[in-house]
Amino acid sequence: MARRGSAFAGLSVALITPFRNGQVDFEALERLVEFHVSAGTHCLCPVGTTGESPTLSHEEHEQVISAVVKAAAGRIKVMAGTGSNSTSEAIRLTRWAARAGADAALMVAPYYNKPTQEGFYQHFRSVAREVDIPICVYNIPGRTGKNIEPETFVRLAEIPNIVMVKEASGSLDQASQILCSTDLTVLSGDDSLTLPLMAIGGEGVISVVGNLVPQDMLAMIGAFQAGKTDEAAAWHRKLFPLCRDLLGLASNPIPVKAAMQMLGRDTGELRLPLTPLGQAERNRLRQTLAAYGLTIETD
């Protein structure tokens, strides 16, 4: 079955939002875009969970989308985070992304207010009617408080510009059901499940670990796509400790920002209510980075 979102197959990176002295560091953001263009990353996803979108003002959210699109300059795709638990706000952000030139929108399921399955459907349909760009529905019940059920994805798949799912329920059964019953492209929302998900028909990942080692994620994906399953599995085993710690030591993006600081690639600054890793967790992360073979520049 041809998948409608296959243009976004491969490695998308859930981009951090760099801060300095409490403000968005746009120069650092541009450097991150250049890093990923050079690495061969296929797509960037700014202002999602990893980009600390809940702590950005509406103006900052729009500015980051525009800055990433401008820096990308058509050299790399941009799938901008535009989700909200307010349908009107999601429409506004998605319109902004479309006008700014984003290639697609990444829309998280409405969080906190826990809509019914009908509410999920009406929310995404309402946004999709207002824009022409492709939409990726982001299902992460551990964050939002409620799962988008496979039956709802069947209904959403009937909407022409809803073409992808970022599946972060942790359930391969759910992903299998979506793949069996729709023509949506399924992308992994959990780095450690990327290879298993691709084995059942997924087409890539929207990755946190890709902020650090995009070439290695690309190598794993490329090996699997080339039918080199043993090589892909070897990459999976190498990457797994890094995937585990970046998403397990504390809430994302606390560990990945700490890792980027240690590698000399970011200030590591977070916005409240997120707080830095404790010393014990920093020690564990430092050991994992060193064991992986990454060069630690700062303590």
- C-beta atoms surrounding 142 within 10 Å: 11
Position of tokens 């630690």? 296
Could you tell me which of 297, 254, 243, 247 has the C-alpha nearest to residue 16? 254
Q: Are 23 and 57 in contact (CB under 8 A)?
A: no
**Catalytic site includes residue 121:** no
Which two tokens mark 260? Answer: 């980027």
Q: What type of residue is 133?
A: I
Grouping H, G, I as helix, E, B as strand and the rest as coil, residue 200 is coil
Catalytic residue among 166, 228, 238, 292, which? 166
DSSP state of 28: H
Could you tell me which of 69, 71, 68, 98 has the C-alpha nearest to residue 82? 98
**Catalytic site includes residue 112:** no
Which two tokens mark 71? Answer: 């820096």
> What CA–CA distance (Å, rounded) separates 289 from 263?
9
> What CA–CA distance (Å, rounded) separates 184 from 208?
22
Catalytic residue among 138, 146, 228, 257, which? 138
> What CA–CA distance (Å, rounded) separates 235 from 239?
6
Beta strands in 189-252 (DSSP E): 204-207
> What CA–CA distance (Å, rounded) separates 30 from 71?
6
Cite the active site residues.
138, 166
